[in-house]
Amino acid sequence: MGYTLWQSFRHAGRGLKIVAKTEKNFRIQLLIAVLVLLAAWYRHLEEKSFIILLLVMALVMCLEIVNSAIERLVDILAPRTHNFAKEIKDLLAAMVLLASIFAAIIGFVIFI
């Protein structure tokens, strides 16, 4: 039996609550996103620049959620007993770090 649209939104909302509650990096990224949005509003950025900022912020936060989900999966399947478990987590962290660095560069270019 499939979910209703409302149930899907409830599950997604619950996922957002989980990541916001359990992942410090996600909370930091969310705070930075709010500050960037306030700066964009204050500077009256043009629509295209604003959309680009929204996209890169969404990308970083979505990748953080993917990172958290896969890390939990790795913990279930290979809880620190397999050499690849640590490597998988390091690769996931590198993915989010790389996206964050490029998001910051894009932000600086837009604001400067």
Is 64 in the active site? Answer: yes
Catalytic residue among 23, 64, 71, 87: 64
Instruction: Return the C-alpha torsion angle 71, 94, 50, 58, nearest 10.
Output: -10
Q: What are the Cα distances from residue 83, in Å, to 38, 67, 68, 88, 101?
A: 43, 18, 19, 9, 27
**Token pair of 64, please?**
């953080």
Active site (catalytic) residues: 64
